[in-house]
Chains A and B, each alone.
Chain A
């Protein structure tokens, strides 16, 4: 009538699980199928992660190649390693608001944390010989929507794709035997890449300014501005200095000392904030939106969308910018990436570089990068 209290589980006889003898062969086939499914799952995952399959240019491989180009500087950025932290504010214009719905263009000043730097992987590099200068910004604070930018003084890139970029790094890497780049490899790369020749022509001919403050910084990569009404425009932007350009030749730079940029910028700040106009250049139909090696004609419509004001600088070892990854794809609503392949590659490689240097700091290898600098 009633069921008894729960009894200990009864294990059925083996014949009950395998009712018929022929089922055993089926069972083995089923187990083989299950093994194959598990293996296929593991293989698909390993392929996705880039562990197996034909060698692909992953962010890891890209960064490994860059690191092989010079001595290791644990805790520092892999590129543009030398710089100072800066801070200030950004104020958008109504013209900017008309182009993009981004909060930064709302008209109220938004807090900015940033970094002025020179190109190259040496944290003690010589300002006098650094052809490339850079400005990185984070508009907006912690827990808020943010807009990060990483801009450079060159007007266009030498390469159009991550693959070309990688080849360029390899071609200019030091030969282990001599410790110097192989001139033949560098020449071969140049010969095969006309845009790299154009870049070299710019590097040779463009005048150098005497300050970070009167240098123009360009987004180089294109983005989409999306207005409140949904209208989209392809843009490249620049921070155009309000400070007048003053040229400085090689002799004067050498005389100024290896750290003249930071010293000069501090002197300038002592006299008041330094400002740039943010100028958006709007693409016309047919412009190379997705190719950062091809600048757009200078007669394209240009709109002043905001004003950047920097009023303080601190050494990067102890400044707020040290632990920021200036990933150009941290964007607010109203700004979207273009399909420029260099843009997504920058995002991927910056993230890996950031993870590596944070780990070096975490395990105590990054003392050089975090120790307060002696006052100059």
Chain B
């Protein structure tokens, strides 16, 4: 059995995945009125993005982005449109992040888009240098774009895991029971957001579980770290990818509960890129085409 084969992705699955993904490209930070970059982050150290805070400029950029998203969905000028979306996304998010709070979810979305952009660019270059059949090239581009999306998404976990090991070493696992303090913080922060007193006591009770069962917490967080570190290897086979997807869902759901953070976006990406929506191919008129596309790909 060949490992790490490019995934077979039907036209329909790829379209549905792009449609869902495009929703997150529409949602950009509202930077209207931001006239300075008090804590410049990344690109904002070199460029002044405050012109995007002018309402008319902001609306013009949004309008152009809507056109680019339309091209992304229809598959026309996809290299240019994804490139434009990445550049404007980087500018808007850099300005927003330079206000003091960094939103990492946006970075994951654009990492995935960057993976797709590279696949489209590679295909464009290949189509000019090789005499490939248009249909064959399209099927391969789709597979490559999907594989790059998976890779970029899983790279995010790998980077996060390396950062943990760089920052704390294996103490990240040994000190895991101290996560109880983060639990208190998370629940109390929710309390001060809503003044719902149940959050206050639940935080303290749950933290006790962490402090009282250090070995169990170490094992569970150690498993989570291993999943982040070796997630990319799950791309070896379709079945492994699916199993890793289920593990990531369990991991995120636990974090949602324990740390009161919203990781549903990540769960959705796990569903789209790891668990996958290939069941969609079983429905509708063009279902048989999937088989012939798979043949092209393996050939």
Same complex origin of A and B: no
Q: A-side interface residues toward B, CB under 8 Å?
A: none
